[in-house]
Amino acid sequence: MPLVISALKEKKGENRVSLTPDVVSKLNKKKFKVVIEKGAGQGAFYSDEDYTAAGAELGTHLAALKADIVTTVYRPIDSDLERLKKGQTLIGMLNPFSAQELFTKIASAGVNTLSFELLPRTVSRAQNMDANSSQKSIAGYKAVLMAANAYPEYFPMMMTAAGTARPAKVLVIGAAVAGLQAIGTAHRLGAVVSGYDIREDARDQIESLAAKALISSVQVKDENGYARALNDDERKAQQAELEGFIKENDVIITTAQVPGQKPPVVVSKKAVEAAKAGTVFVDLGSSDLGGNVEGSKPETTVTTKNGAIIIGAGDLPSQIAKSASDMYSKNIENTINYIVKDEKLSLDLSDDVLKDLVATSNGEISSAFLRRRYGLSAKEETKKEEVK
């Protein structure tokens, strides 16, 4: 019997889909059976007919949950997780960091989970599985378009018979994937761009995009290559440093996030209040937990008393759902190709990618990185598990 792979329809408000017809066709050629929940691709402009033409079988939500490998964009609701059985595998952006009790239950049920937030960024062969990067790149691009739409002046320099308009000055805070895409996009739109980061090794990347590099004296990152949370003294020093830069710019795009934690506040209330009227802040860190800009609200545009515009923009990839789904689905495909050998699911937990990426397997929390985050003791090296 071939392995069955499914894609779930996402919760209301999320337009992406985890498997696209193109990837379904490729999976079929490798003799997988693919089940797509009816209507799963509509938000990304893929019809049910597109999937059947690619060789997928349409099914109900419950049918999709019975697959050997269930794929999703975000973590399914708890009642769906409870329906998963021993030996099944769930792949997606599952946000396990603040859900220790839930993932302990999932592990106890014998369900394997692969969470893209755990993918080690320092391993080069994992790059084609890096869903976080593919989606953040889209967020950085869309953030600039939103900023240009809200900014009350031209982005590029414009020379007209009525006079010359100066180009917008754009400051991008955070030069990781989203930030670098934002820098490049703003430059292509004709703005004068600066990039700020706490990592000295970001300087060359910023300057390679024809932007001015502003590197903080506060430079920190964790063992997985992510910028770690700053302590109070470091945060205050960073905010003070940024206040002067913000005054000089017309558009500020913030991208700072710490996986599974409250996003850091990098733009203080003082900096917002000192901004001139018409200044646009686009906060990619905005969420229910908070944001990078004091006063930002998720999925909301706020205009301050002094005329600054703050856009809470924490989930932009869903707004470019087709391209985002195309990239995400390829991340899923590459992950499946990595873990399926000879038509069997094989989770080799000694592998330097899978030892972190696999959140649960063998009835326990297996990710080395996640175990550290949960405060669990390190586990002994586990041999590969062949599930089917």
Q: Which residues are catalytic?
A: 121, 127, 130, 133, 226
Tokens of 297: 């609200």
In the sheet that holds 385-386, the strands lie side by side as 340-341, 344-347, 385-386
Is the Cβ–Cβ distance between 327 and 319 less than 8 Å?
A: no
List Cα–Cα distances, 299 to 242, 244, 348, 360, in angstroms. 24, 27, 40, 32
DSSP string for 119-179? --TT-GGGGGG-HHHHHHHHHHHHHHHHHHHH-SS-SS-EEETTEEEPPPEEEEE--SHHH
Q: Is the dihedral of CA 67, 69, 73, 79 positive or negative?
A: positive
Side-chain-side CA neighbours of residue 34 (13 Å): 28
Q: Which of 367, 347, 381, 371 is nearest to 87 (CA)?
A: 347
Is the Cβ–Cβ distance between 8 and 37 less than 8 Å?
A: yes
